């Protein structure tokens, strides 16, 4: 495969367009497209802005008009080949007279894949694999959900040095630092669902919204999901108008994720207490762990995770560390450490 410098630069730009901030998370991948003329100059750009809106290729073609004829389309994901909320992008590119398509990642979704074959059958030159790893990283949760028929699950918790998530009297505000809490909101914004148990709602009364560094809620909020069989007090903040909330009346993690997948949710941010965390871990349904460790010693209190049924050190779960970041203290606070880990079998 041979790619020009202009195509490489265009793919970097397409990836940046696809990652445009504040695009609502949803069932669709994030995609960017750049159209180049025969000299490698940019004709038009486009990106997908969420479910029901124009796909990146169609967005770019609309901006280019007749100038698209004979162009090269540089796109981060294989153009779709099916009709859903919008028409197939592969046929749109053919109809616009695009000469060449350079794509980063093949579409893993069997319902939408096949665009490259359609383009080639129509006489369009197609090359794939340019900056593929970057494209996969951009849509890791979406691709995981498509390939595994369930959402990607990130379990986040904050704990003291001795693994406590709350003191003996039940207080937990604040174990983590201001910087850690701001970082949590950044990670929340990358997901489309936040999941807690009914126990957390009853005890902590969380709001479960995503806010910026000034405390202002973002315009597009993830779904708030509460899992458990007990009824919810209608006065709990999670049932307020700040974001959509769903009550999943089950204790089975598999059933909860199946329902969220049916609702086209791709990335679950698990923020429940130790019992819910243990249930997901024992079911093998935690795909990523984000742990904020604060320089505190409590000696007693609620553990960060409940019983995992591990009788001996030899049977311990040993996730692999993929990142260690020190979050500086703010206004005299001590630094916290953020650890990111993945299950050993998926490293």
Higher pLDDT, 112 or 249: 249
User: CA torsion, points 232, 238, 243, 244, in degrees to nearest 10?
Assistant: -20
Taking the C-alpha atoms of residue 280 and residue 36, their distance in angstroms, rounded to an integer, is 47
pLDDT of residue 23: 82
The secondary structure of 241-310 as a DSSP string is: TTS-EEEE--S-HHHHHHHHHHTT--EEEE---HHHHHHHHHTT---EEEEEE-S---SSS-BSS-----
Residue positions annotated with a catalytic role: 57
**By the 8 A CB rule, do 316 and 343 touch?**
no
* pTM for the predicted model, two decimal places: 0.89
**Ordered domains of the chain (ranges, CATH):** 5-139 (3.40.140.10), 149-346 (3.40.430.10)
Please, which residues have CB within 8 angstroms of residue 316's CB and are 6 or more apart in sequence? Answer: 310
Inform me whether the pLDDT recorded for 56 exceeds 90: yes
Inform me whether the pLDDT recorded for 1 exceeds 80: no
pLDDT of residue 172: 83
């Amino acid at each position: 495969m041979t790619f020009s410098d202009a195509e490489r630069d265009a793919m970097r730009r397409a990836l940046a367009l696809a990652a445009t901030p504040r695009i609502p998370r949803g069932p669709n991948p994030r995609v960017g497209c750049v159209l180049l003329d025969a000299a490698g100059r940019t004709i038009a750009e486009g990106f997908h802005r969420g479910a029901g809106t124009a796909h990146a290729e169609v967005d770019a073609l609309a901006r280019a008009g007749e100038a698209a004829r004979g162009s090269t389309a540089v796109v981060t994901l294989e153009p779709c080949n099916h009709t859903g909320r919008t028409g197939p992008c592969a046929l749109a590119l053919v109809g616009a007279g695009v000469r060449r398509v350079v794509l980063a990642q093949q579409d893993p979704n069997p319902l939408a894949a096949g665009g490259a074959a359609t383009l080639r059958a129509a006489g369009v030159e197609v090359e794939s694999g340019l900056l593929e790893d970057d494209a996969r990283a951009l849509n890791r949760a979406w691709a995981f959900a498509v390939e595994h028929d369930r959402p990607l699950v990130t379990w986040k918790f904050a704990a003291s040095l001795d693994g406590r998530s709350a003191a003996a009297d039940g207080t937990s505000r604040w174990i983590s630092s201001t910087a850690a809490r701001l970082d949590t909101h950044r990670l929340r914004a990358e997901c489309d669902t936040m999941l807690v148990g009914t126990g957390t709602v009853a005890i902590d009364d969380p709001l479960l919204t995503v806010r910026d560094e000034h405390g202002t809620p973002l315009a597009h909020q993830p779904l708030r999901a509460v899992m458990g069989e007990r009824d919810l007090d209608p006065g709990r903040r999670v049932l307020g108008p700040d974001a959509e909330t769903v009550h999943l009346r089950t204790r089975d993690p598999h059933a909860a994720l199946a329902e969220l997948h049916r609702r086209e949710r791709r990335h679950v941010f698990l923020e429940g207490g130790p019992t819910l965390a243990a249930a997901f871990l024992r079911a093998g349904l935690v795909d990523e762990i984000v742990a904020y460790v604060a320089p505190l010693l409590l000696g007693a209190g609620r553990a960060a995770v409940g019983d995992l049924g591990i009788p001996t050190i030899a049977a311990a779960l040993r996730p692999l560390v993929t990142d260690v970041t020190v979050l500086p203290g703010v206004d005299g606070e001590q630094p916290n450490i953020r650890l990111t880990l993945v299950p050993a079998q998926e490293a």
